[in-house]
């Protein structure tokens, strides 16, 4: 299935702006873009390695928790379900297992799930340093994981899910999550409203207090006049005043740098010739025998985009990315 044709468990947390990886606006941009979404090499490596760990995790589930998977999701054959009522709802379930009396003995929370029922299973990997993100109680799970789990229970119509986060290499707790119909109804309502925005090509509201999301949203606005209230007007004045102050301080800093660097140049005996390199040693700036700063030599590598476009236009085109953002600027001068 094309990921742009449905809302899955991996996206639902973003839909409700509860994902640590993506906001609703960023998800909307990915679903409405004409370009295929591509993972960067770091993300691709992470997902590939995490998938490779699922086999050992399934073994640990059998050995440590008596959980016997009956169906497992693979890349070549994903265990994906379509919602019976809504065609653009779907969920991929990492593994499934069948309810048995042995599971009830180990997980008392499953006592009301009939024997023989299929229950979902989700596998997660996390650094031991992320243990705190899963809460102090061993039955706590992060909100974005809870959203994914409830979404999967809603799509499959099942009663429970076993969530198995692997911390490090050998800590594998199992958390029982029971179906919460109130949460499921809310997620499905939010997903329907979000999907309508995708179909209408109308972006969702930016995530509150997310500066990057606010910039993304503002970049899509057209030049419509906005009458400011007193609070917004005061905020605009604060921004403009701060910018003037910063500009003045930067000018003072640049003048001071020129004075200081001229002194260092003369102290080292370097001629006032821009083609002459300074010594490669760092400069220890001292006053009355005490070192106050270091004038450190640094090397920066850059790509000459114009040269690359001229000599290798196909490479330049394939790797070129265009982003849109807005800046708060002075209004244009009126033409006389």
Return the CATH number of 3-218, one of 1.10.760.10, 3.90.320.10, 3.40.50.300, 3.40.50.2300: 3.90.320.10
Predicted pLDDT of residue 81: 95
3-state secondary structure the chain: CCHHHCECHHHHHHHCCCCCCCCHHHHHHHHHCCCCCCCCHHHHHHHHHHHHHHHHHHHHHHHHHCCCEEEECCCCCCCEEECCCCCCEEEECCEEEECCHHHHHHCHHHCCCCCCCEEEEEEEEECHHHHHHHCCCCCCCCHHHHHHHHHHHHHHCCCEEEEEEEECCCECCCEEEECCHHHHHHHHHHHHHHHHHHHHCCCCCCCCCCHHHHHHHHCCCCCCCCCCCHHHHHHHHHHHHHHHHHHHHHHHHHHHHHHHHHHHHHHHCCCCCCCCCCCCCCEEEEECCEEEEEECCCCCCCCCHHHHHHHCHHHHHHHCCCCCCCCCCCCCCCCC
Beta-bridged to residue 95, according to DSSP, are: 72, 121
Give the residue extent of every domain in the chain: 3-218
Please, which pLDDT band fits residue 336 given cuts at 50, 70 and 90? very low
Please, which pLDDT band fits residue 278 given cuts at 50, 70 and 90? confident
Q: Which residue has the tokens 């653009």?
A: 88
Does the reported pTM lie above 0.85? no
**Half-sphere exposure in the Cβ direction for 202 (13 Å, CA):** 7
How many CB atoms sit inside 10 A of residue 190's CB? 17
> What are 88-126's pLDDT values in tens digits?
999 999 999 999 998 888 888 899 999 999 999 998 877
In this structure, are residues 90 and 8 in contact, taking their beta carbons and an 8 Å threshold?
Answer: yes
Please state, in angstroms and as integers, the Cα–Cα distance from residue 114 to each residue in 38, 119, 139, 161, following that order.
Answer: 42, 10, 22, 14
> What are 116-149's pLDDT values in tens digits?
999 999 988 776 656 666 765 556 788 889 999 9
Q: Which residues contact 106 (CB under 8 A, 6 or more apart)?
A: 65, 66
Predicted pLDDT of residue 315: 78
Closest listed residue to residue 107, CA positions, set 65, 59, 158: 65
Predicted pLDDT of residue 164: 87
């Amino acid at each position: 299935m094309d990921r742009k044709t449905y809302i899955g468990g991996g996206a639902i947390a973003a839909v409700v702006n509860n994902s640590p990886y993506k906001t609703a606006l960023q998800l909307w941009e990915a679903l409405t873009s004409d370009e295929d979404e591509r993972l960067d090499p770091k993300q691709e490596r992470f997902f590939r390695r995490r998938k490779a760990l699922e086999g050992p995790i399934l073994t640990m589930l059998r050995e440590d928790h008596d959980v016997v998977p009956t169906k497992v999701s693979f890349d070549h054959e994903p265990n994906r379900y379509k919602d019976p009522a809504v065609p653009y709802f779907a969920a991929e379930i990492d593994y499934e297992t069948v309810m048995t009396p042995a599971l009830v003995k180990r997980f008392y929370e499953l006592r009301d799930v009939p024997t023989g029922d299929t229950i979902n299973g989700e596998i997660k990997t996390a650094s031991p340093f992320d243990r705190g993100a899963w809460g102090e109680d061993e039955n706590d799970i992060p909100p974005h994981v809870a959203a994914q789990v409830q979404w999967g229970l809603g799509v499959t119509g099942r009663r429970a899910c076993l969530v198995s986060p692997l911390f490090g290499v050998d800590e594998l707790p199992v958390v029982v999550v029971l179906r919460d119909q109130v949460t499921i109804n809310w997620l499905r309502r939010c997903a329907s409203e979000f999907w309508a925005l995708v179909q209408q090509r109308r972006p969702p509201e930016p995530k509150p207090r997310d500066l990057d999301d606010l910039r993304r949203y503002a970049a899509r606005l057209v030049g419509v006049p906005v009458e400011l209230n007193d609070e917004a007007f005061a905020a605009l004045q604060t921004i403009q005043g701060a910018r003037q102050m910063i500009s003045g301080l930067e000018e003072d800093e640049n003048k001071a740098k020129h004075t200081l660097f001229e002194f260092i140049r003369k102290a080292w005996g370097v001629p006032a010739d821009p083609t002459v390199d300074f010594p490669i040693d760092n400069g220890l700036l001292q006053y009355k025998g005490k070192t106050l700063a270091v004038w450190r030599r640094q090397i920066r590598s850059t790509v000459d985009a114009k040269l690359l476009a001229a000599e290798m236009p196909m490479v330049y085109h394939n790797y070129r990315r265009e982003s849109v953002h807005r800046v708060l600027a002075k209004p244009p001068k009126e033409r006389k």
